[in-house]
Amino acid sequence: MTKSNQPANPILPPVEPPAELLGNIMAAVAQEPPTAWEKAQSAIAPSQPASVFTMALTLSVALAGIVLIGLLVLAPSVLVSQLQGMLWVVRECAGFVVSGVRITGMFVDSGLALIRPTLVITNQVWSTAAMLLRIVSSGPLLGIVISGCALVIAGQLLLLRLLFTRPVAQHT
Amino acid sequence: MEGPVAVAAPTDAELVATVLNGNRNAFAPLVERYQTGIYNFTYRYTHNREDAADLAQETFLRAFRSLHRYNKKYQLRNWLYSIAANVCRDWSRKNGSRPATMAFAASPGIDSSAEPAGDSSDNPAEIVLTNENSKALADAISQLPDDYRACLILFHIEGISQAEICQILQLPLSVVKNRLYRARLRLRQMLGEVS
């Protein structure tokens, strides 16, 4: 239980604030630079294009919905074939990415196997670097980019190896 | 024929919403509503009219700047008091252990503006005695440590409940009770020494 409000202290009664306090405060408030919420309001105000964009997006989504429903009602076979086509595209893309990653890994491995004996690097550093490369190359987009780079590097290394037929010592 | 219909004054929440909608002038009624309480708090804390006015102004300015962070679940008055307590704490830190007694003694309007209850009496001796009591009490309060002073002023002078003080100072109830107890104990000791 907490004590309820006490009456004003009889020995120290309220003191009236100076008459100019309100004026001073309001003058200071008027001179204040734009506050956080005023800035936020002014940032929202000129963003009319955003609302137009939202409206256009909503309209296009609605239109797409209408077209889809129309196709579903009027020509379901067309819609099914279209969907199958889209799925095929998605599957192929996914397959491309996966194979890109696999190829990356392969080329990285082979590239590393080629250059490993020629560099003086301890096994531990080597395996860490290979692991890092595999991790980096596991991202789909990066995988494709790195696979390209790895392909070029591996090709150059193969060419070098063919040109200089010095036998490469097996790494133990 | 019916008389003029009394227009209800806008609530704190309505005024805050108006200010947040970009009307800075709507802040004036809020200041008018709470300036006496806040000024009293800062005055009892500092015992100096100029400092009290400055701190009250700083309190309202800080409140204005962070009005968008005000939680409507709590009373605006308590929120303002919590800002005032922080402002006073900052002031106290900046001024170090400034002798409040001197400031109090130098403040000219203490007796004239703060009319003690004894003034209603016809007995001049009683008036003098009550004025002296007021001075001694105000002097003793000003010598209290900051934490105790804020609790004591809010509870005994501003008449705010302990539960609300917990909200204002963001302290558990037990701490508020303890501080009030210790503040009263210190006051008793100081006033005992005076008498």
ipTM of the complex: 0.72
Distance from CA of B3 to the nearest CA of A (A): 33
A113 or A6: whose pLDDT is higher?
A: A113
Taking an 8 Å cut-off on Cβ atoms, the answer to whether A38 and B116 are in contact is no
B57: Cβ contacts below 8 Å, ≥ 6 apart: A21, A24, A25, A28
Whether pLDDT at B165 is above 80: yes
Taking an 8 Å cut-off on Cβ atoms, the answer to whether B40 and A14 are in contact is yes
- The whole-number pLDDT of residue B181 equals 92
C-alpha separations of A104 from A96, A98, A124, A138, A146 in Å: 12, 10, 22, 8, 7
Distance from CA of B40 to the nearest CA of A (A): 6
pTM: 0.54
CB nearest to B157's CB, from A12, A35, A36: A12
- Shortest CA distance to A10 belongs to which of B35, B100, B134, B125? B134
* B36-59 tens-digit pLDDT: 999 999 998 888 888 999 999 999
**How is residue B191 written in tokens?**
């006033």
Residue type, B23: N
pLDDT band, residue A7 (cuts 50/70/90): low
pLDDT band, residue B84 (cuts 50/70/90): very high
CB B38 within 8 A of CB B56: yes
Stretch among A126-135, B18-27, B100-109 having the lowest mean pLDDT: B100-109
> Residues 158 to 187 of B: which have CB under 8 A from any A CB?
159-163, 166, 173
pLDDT band, residue B66 (cuts 50/70/90): confident
- The whole-number pLDDT of residue B110 equals 40
* A40-90 tens-digit pLDDT: 776 655 555 556 677 777 777 887 787 777 777 777 777 677 777 777 777
> Residues 52 to 81 of B: which have CB under 8 A from any A CB?
53, 56-57, 60-61, 64-68
Taking an 8 Å cut-off on Cβ atoms, the answer to whether A15 and B39 are in contact is yes
Taking an 8 Å cut-off on Cβ atoms, the answer to whether A5 and B28 are in contact is no
Stretch among A23-27, A162-166, B26-30, B179-183 having the lowest mean pLDDT: A162-166
CB nearest to A11's CB, from B43, B116, B173: B116
Question: What does chain B look like in DSSP terms, one character per residue?
Answer: ---PPPPPPPPHHHHHHHHHTT-GGGHHHHHHHHHHHHHHHHHHHH--HHHHHHHHHHHHHHHHHTGGG--TTS-HHHHHHHHHHHHHHHHHHHH-S--HHHHHHH-TTHHHHS--GGGGSS-HHHHHHHHHHHHHHHHHHHTS-HHHHHHHIIIIIS---HHHHHHHHT--HHHHHHHHHHHHHHHHHHHHHH-
Q: What is the mean pLDDT of residues A91-99?
A: 75
Taking an 8 Å cut-off on Cβ atoms, the answer to whether B68 and A36 are in contact is yes
d(CA B191, CA B195): 6
